[in-house]
Amino acid sequence: MNFELRLVQLRLGALEKEIAGSAMSELPPYASTAELWSDADAFVTDDAFALSESPAARRGALGVLTRHARPLSWLFFSLREIRGVGPAPVELGELAGRLADAASGFLAAHQPEGDDWRPLLLAVVGEARRAFAEGFATSALFERARLRHRPARLVPELAVAA
């Protein structure tokens, strides 16, 4: 297994434990003061008007309307940190879009929206786990294909075998 994927899985597991181990009335650290998530591809809000009239909505970003906007935003920021900065197997915009889509799907399937924020966040962490696994699998396949198609003179290990 890829070392980076294993590290991401461990960090996601710790995040799941933190969420699941919290009391319903106890928000994750910083969640009560977290800014609402907004980037080029997705945004989180607790204001129905912002779903259609915010700058992010006008840009065409995917919006998530939930009464648990602050804990969900905290989760998006936490997952961005887990993803890391720089080259990663999943682009930030793609990840945010997938997470927003997963949150919207969960909320649509669980109406009326409950008081407990934990099931929503755990569903989104599950989607993040799938996105990272797919991203690492795709990057590994790409890397193997790239190495296979390089001329032997550019890959010393292949030149010795040839």
The amino acid that residue 68 corresponds to is: H
d(CA 107, CA 40): 22
Q: What is this structure's pTM?
A: 0.79
User: What pLDDT is stored for residue 60 in this prediction?
Assistant: 86
For the chain, the C-alpha Rg in angstroms (whole number) is: 19
Q: Are 157 and 136 in contact (CB under 8 A)?
A: no
Q: Which helix (H) or strand (E) holds 148?
A: helix 118-148
The amino acid that residue 159 corresponds to is: A
pLDDT in tens, 101-157: 999 999 999 999 999 999 999 999 999 999 888 887 776 554 554 445 455 555 555
Residue among 102, 109, 107, 108 at smallest CA distance from 124 = 102
d(CA 130, CA 126): 6
Q: Are 30 and 78 in contact (CB under 8 A)?
A: no
pLDDT in tens, 52-104: 888 888 888 899 999 999 999 999 999 988 887 445 667 777 888 899 999 99
Structure tokens at 49: 């008007």
The amino acid that residue 155 corresponds to is: V
